Chain A
Amino acid sequence: MTTLPEKTTRKLGLVIDLDTCVGCHACVVSCKGWNTENYGAALSDQNPYGADPSGTFLNRVHSYEVQPLATSTMPHPAAQLVHFPKSCLHCEDAPCVTVCPTGASYKRVEDGIVLVNETDCIGCGLCAWACPYGARELDAAEGVMKKCTLCVDRIYNENLPEVDREPACVRTCPAGARHFGDFADPESNVSKLTAERGGMDLMPEQGTKPVNQYLPPRPKDQLDQPKPVGEIDILAPFLAPVMDEPKGFLGWLDKALEKI
């Protein structure tokens, strides 16, 4: 119902490193703080001190337990915990835009940011239904759809020092797990990180062509890999005893001290 631009000049977005994200929620709250104060309506909170507090957030961190399958080299793999920050991925083929009946949802030509023009939003919620990632939230107080703006009011903001012209979530991330840049530029930090670390689309089968990329966790628990039968454990030489019990130790010690 609302058309997307044929192409955008830049493709601004985030790289989120799942290998490094410790799940601290710093990005969640920094985002809430900046965006309740800035772009559009406040991010309201219902029942904030009551039984079922529920507010609007543009970015949330979910935690998933992963149980790797047993293999011949890892018969008893330990379960893992992956922290997964999620916000709008500013898709190239954004279904939330095309579904919008009023044109309130749109994708910017110059940088690809997907925004909601709150004056035109009727709060029908179709975009939230259309988004396969659950990245949009209808603000219960204002009745308009809220979503990540990629801090469009920070990244170009001439009232901020240049170093601060990045999304609030990126600026605050203590672990450095969030990176901001232009995916249209192959030399940008985000393009390079994506290439080096095998950055992935989230749910590519949905055909949304998300701009944001996720870096997968590196393989874990390599110390649990038992030594393959018939092969030498590469760490084994370091464990070779240099002596027998205490008496032998003193002999070794004397010899070793001579070499210092």
Chain B
Amino acid sequence: MTHHQPKIDTSPKVSDEIRKTTCYMCACRCGINVHLKGGKVSYIEGNRDHPVNKGVLCAKGSAGIMQVNAPSRLRAPLKRVGPRGSGEYEEISWDEALEMATDWLAPIREKHPEKLAFFTGRDQSQSFTSLWAQSFGTPNYAAHGGFCSVNMAAAGIYTMGGAFWEFGQPDWDHTKLFMIFGVAEDHDSNPIKMGIGKIKARGAKVIGVNPIRSGYNAVADDWVGITPGTDGLFILSLVHVLIKSGKIDLDYLSRFTNAPVLLNGDETSPEFGLFLRDDDGKPLVIDRNTGKLAAFDTPGIRPDLSATHRAAGVTHRPVMHHMAERYLDPQYAPEAVAERCGITPEKIHRIAAEIARVAFDEAITLDHEWTDFRGEKHATMTGRPVSFHAMRGISAHSNGFQTCRALHVLQILLGTVEVPGGFRFKPPYPKPVSAHPKPHCKVTPGAPLDGPHLGYAQGPDDLCLAEDGSAARIDKAYTWENPMSAHGLMHMVISNAHAGDPYKIDTLFMYMANMSWNSSMNTGGVIKMLTDKDENGDYVIPRIIYSDAYSSEMVAYADLILPDTTYLERHDCISLLDRPICEADAAADAIRWPVIEPDRDVRGFQSVLCDLGARLGLPAFTNADGGQKYADYADYITSHERRPGIGPLAGFRGAAGDEAGRGAPNPDQLDRYIENGGFFVNHIPEGANYYKPWNTAYQDWAVGMGIYDAPQPYIFDLYVEPLRKFQLAAEGHGERQPPDHLRERIKATLDPLPIWYPPFEDDHVDTAEFPVHALTQRPMAMYHSWGSQNAWLRQIHGHNPLYLPTKLWEKNGFADGDWARVTSAHGEITVPVAHMAALNENTIWTWNAIGKRKGAWALSEDAPEATKGFLLNHLIHELLPPKGDGLRWSNSDPVTGQAAWFDLRVKVEKTDAPTESQPAMKPLKSPVPQGPDHLEWKVGK
């Protein structure tokens, strides 16, 4: 054939219309352009104007089109007609469903509101759902933070008023060295990928710290294949080297942190180790100009990091002394920690040296004038261009809180927080502990709770305890077992409710949490608890209501299902009152709106709560005349006021829609968001956008936006005084006293300066018998259990072999196609294996939540997710194995209660291939029909 070139149409019509909303294929909340043809979704791409993703979109986001047509979508409210777990349901009307829910919940509220446990999983509307729970009056509310990354969030808030991801971000435009510790690859994923791309393009360096060299670690210039659970030890070794070589930012430490604050040195005092304070309660420092005591914020002082204060025969030393004493100890020398961390001492020295070189020799200066909270004017802003990011990898351990603290303290010692090139907060952060609510748990039958459930405990007085000292909350949050459990402990709800400890509940009400599968430790055990009956033949957990958009494994265990919409069929607000989408240079929020209408009898869960709240007569959801206050969630979003002038959305407020932050509700607000592309941005003025906690210009801007009601400058807490208050209680001071069996642990682990201790599991299992660490990671192209129902995404991650490092692979003589029996102190699984060399030599891992139960997610029963896929969850228990002291210790962090998923230790043995992964559970009966056997997806014909 000779060259023949047909004429083609290179300008076909793209779509009829673009509707701009917010993605929900994971938790990143990117802006999307949804293209429609004939009213159907024809293509989804990133919104170029959006502050989060600036036009890019990940695999999940682009696959949203397969989510809104997924056969797994629930179709109508369901009432259970067979036994729990059978999957036998009958479709009912919304009226019947809501009447049923009202009939169950109204009597509870009248007499024992705490008998409702309302937990909301991966909810992005927590400021709304918590209001509902508060108005109902139950103390038992939380979302999924307790089994996710509360250690990171709480350590960040207590240390410096914010952590990573929605709290802040590296200064991608200026940073020269970026160090990333264990991160689920779908957490803040587009911004991190964009940031890494940006800094690599200009030749900045990336160091990845992760036992597994995938994703971000695969592109890192240097990889630290650390042993799981030792990140804190590694970080404190870096601190040791940096202090020893004088590579810390003394000016920054003296001005902006509590390093110069004096600690009470009187060992006999009930305030031993607390701050010396003046009569106004302000922490005291010594002014280097005068040598005298002064409140930390006194204008004109130079807080002294070195001087001590002697009074009544007692020497009171500043925090800096205590830090030097602790971290210069040879126990933190690289040579002392190297073997435990799985990193050579030379490499620790070199990383410390590289951090120091970039921080101090490549410091950058921006010509931005600013004034600090002591009234001092600064002509420029100096930046130490080293930045860090970390999430679950270092967080989900029983030493996770202190490890996350250590990382925040390292950043502060380098003077690289809120400076050019370092880590920057995103509004409404920075926000110190003192600006957060405290936890509330006071129940009054028939009335709301006495305040917000979740907050930041600042001492024993803030614990949620009943008069007899038992836990006030079903999840035992804010008890001596985990006093600072800022996100609750969703992973303990079902086992505590089943055990009736601290009390029995009546109704378990959950949203978007796959607790009978990948979101629980000890999956099989949880299924038994959900289906267990008492001596009367009644379920031990009497009633379960569940809302989900899809046919997840959890659906089969509920008595009443309230089917949610998909993310393109609903209203939502990504609110500054909640987990906002701000950038370091701007406050921002966003909405979702129904860009398509549901073709099923489903309703947005939040709208259902508006209805149910009114039926129950909850004050926050009822008008004075008893009628329904908010017609639906959209109505709530526009008309609810948390404080006068402050509502769920900050943009387009006021009658004219031209007010930002503060302003009267605007009935046209959602339309204005839609016109603006689904989001709102308000930029921080230049000169106000760094040094935020201390910068008067930022503080004034934040007050104007309604973030604070008055300026709240504060200093960073290298030394966390609330931790010391719990220690003092354990030492016998104060009226509220911990039970004796917890005293030693509180003294040891609630240290006000970061420490490292081995993960608890190491102390409860025979580490010689179980020498291998086992982890899961989340891939970039899947979100929890959601991806497998997506026809495109499951072609990318439809299999999850257990990856073994070379040493284990060779030692056991594994070959491709082999299977292994993996055993922990708690359970056993038999699964397919694969070899991976770029892996810590004592670590095995698999992708999270690819394994599915047969019958769930509208997949066929022979889907590889159900036959070869598996969960590590079967190997993990919510309690640690007994160690002979007569007690069962929970498998979680002793400060926050975060589930210690990544402490898991196992042994691995080669075994004959079974027909499918073990344990294999019997199929669920699907409440939805199975999907088609082929797709030729084209909306415009």
Interface residues of A (CB under 8 A from B): 1-5, 19-26, 28-30, 32-34, 36-39, 41-55, 57, 63, 65, 67, 78-83, 100-103, 106-109, 115, 117, 119, 141-142, 152-153, 155-160, 163, 168, 171-177, 217-218, 220-224, 226, 235-236, 238-243, 245-246, 249-250, 252-254, 256-257, 260
Residue on B with the closest CB to A221? B222
Would you call B912 an interface residue if the criterion is a C-beta within 8 Å of the partner chain's C-beta atoms?
no
Q: What are 20 contact pairs spanning A and B, CB under 8 A?
A: A19-B219, A25-B781, A29-B63, A30-B45, A42-B938, A44-B935, A45-B791, A49-B932, A50-B859, A53-B791, A63-B214, A78-B225, A80-B218, A108-B5, A141-B936, A153-B8, A172-B55, A175-B193, A177-B197, A221-B221
- Given A44-B936, A153-B12, answer yes or no on A246-B216 (Cβ-Cβ < 8 Å): no
Residue on A with the closest CB to B798? A53
Would you call B492 an interface residue if the criterion is a C-beta within 8 Å of the partner chain's C-beta atoms?
no
Question: Closest 4 A-B residue pairs measured CB to CB?
Answer: A49-B931, A79-B837, A48-B791, A174-B193
B200–A20 touching, CB < 8 Å: yes
Note all chain A residues with C-beta closer than 8 A to B216.
Answer: 22
A42–B937 touching, CB < 8 Å: yes
Specify which of B194, B198, B353, B795 is in contact with A239 (CB 8 Å cutoff): B353
Q: How far is the CA of A103 from the CA of B6 in the complex (A)?
A: 10
Residue on B with the closest CB to A83? B218
B792–A45 touching, CB < 8 Å: yes
Would you call B712 an interface residue if the criterion is a C-beta within 8 Å of the partner chain's C-beta atoms?
no
Distance of B321 from chain A, by nearest CB (Å): 7
B932–A48 touching, CB < 8 Å: yes
Interface residues of B (CB under 8 A from A): 1-6, 8-14, 42-46, 48, 53, 55-63, 65, 71, 185, 189-190, 193-194, 196-198, 200-201, 207, 213-223, 225, 241, 243-247, 250-251, 254, 288, 304-306, 320-321, 324-325, 328, 346-347, 349-354, 356-357, 780-781, 789, 791-796, 798, 836-839, 858-860, 862-864, 867, 930-940
Distance of A108 from chain B, by nearest CB (Å): 6
Note all chain B residues with C-beta closer than 8 A to A163.
Answer: 48
A253–B305 touching, CB < 8 Å: yes
Q: How far is the CA of A100 from the CA of B2 in the complex (A)?
A: 11
A257–B45 touching, CB < 8 Å: no
Q: How far is the CA of A156 from the CA of B221 in the complex (A)?
A: 38
Distance of B271 from chain A, by nearest CB (Å): 24
Q: How far is the CA of A204 from the CA of B905 in the complex (A)?
A: 47
Distance of A116 from chain B, by nearest CB (Å): 10
Specify which of A23, A48, A243, A245 is in contact with B215 (CB 8 Å cutoff): A23
- Does more than half of chain A's interface fall in helix, strand or loop, or is it mixed? loop
Specify which of A37, A48, A49, A256 is in contact with B42 (CB 8 Å cutoff): A37
Q: How far is the CA of A45 from the CA of B325 in the complex (A)?
A: 64
Note all chain A residues with C-beta closer than 8 A to B3.
Answer: 2-5, 106-107, 109
Note all chain A residues with C-beta closer than 8 A to B213.
Answer: 78-81
A42–B936 touching, CB < 8 Å: yes
Note all chain A residues with C-beta closer than 8 A to B65.
Answer: 33
Given A45-B795, A171-B56; 18 other pairs, CB 8 A cutoff? A25-B780, A29-B63, A45-B791, A48-B932, A49-B791, A50-B860, A52-B864, A79-B213, A81-B213, A81-B838, A83-B218, A101-B1, A106-B3, A109-B3, A153-B10, A172-B56, A221-B221, A222-B222
Q: How far is the CA of A171 from the CA of B932 in the complex (A)?
A: 31
A46–B933 touching, CB < 8 Å: yes
Specify which of B58, B214, B306, B357 is in contact with A257 (CB 8 Å cutoff): B306
B12–A159 touching, CB < 8 Å: yes
Distance of B212 from chain A, by nearest CB (Å): 9
Note all chain B residues with C-beta closer than 8 A to A246.
Answer: 324-325, 328
B14–A152 touching, CB < 8 Å: no
Q: How far is the CA of A43 from the CA of B218 in the complex (A)?
A: 30
Note all chain A residues with C-beta closer than 8 A to B222.
Answer: 220-224
B5–A45 touching, CB < 8 Å: no
Residue on A with the closest CB to B14? A159
Q: How far is the CA of A51 from the CA of B303 in the complex (A)?
A: 68
B45–A78 touching, CB < 8 Å: no
A55–B792 touching, CB < 8 Å: yes
Q: How far is the CA of A25 from the CA of B65 in the complex (A)?
A: 16
A33–B44 touching, CB < 8 Å: yes
